[in-house]
Structure 1
Amino acid sequence: MNIIGKNVKTIREKLGWTQEQLVAKCNLIDWQISRSTLAKVEANVRRVTDIEVLKLSTALNVPINHLFDTKRVCDQQS
């Protein structure tokens, strides 16, 4: 459904953040997302719009291309 979910989860976990903490950061930048919706994004169950990719990049403080890095996803699955 989306290709960034696993990277969002990986980056969030490397930062030591819970889903609730990432949701709070998203809410601070005017993106009202629930923990449940974030869980669906991370599980690749929910589509992610381009503006949502930008919001996730901002909240996680990473370049957008890090969210699309397929090597990161492959490294995590090995």
Structure 2
Amino acid sequence: MAGMENSQELQRFLEQEKQKAMISEMVGKLTSVCWDKCITGSPGSKFSSSETSCLTSCAQRYMDMSIIIMKRFQSM
């Protein structure tokens, strides 16, 4: 009985680790996708206002998608 308990905990742990890995991968993709999309010139010490708003909306859309994906995983 105790062995069964441990394997379920291990399973849960592995699922969480897999989700963390996916999240960090998504953050990495988000960064490069939004950067490529929004930063047009060579970046100075500050982003222009159009770059800032582009990055913000790009990140927001990405976060919305991430939440949808996470909810789908949790409902499995």
TM-score by length of 2: 0.31
Task: Considering fraction of residues, name the structure with more helix.
Answer: 2
Higher relative contact order (CA 8 A, sep 6+): 1
Bigger radius of gyration, 1 or 2? Answer: 2
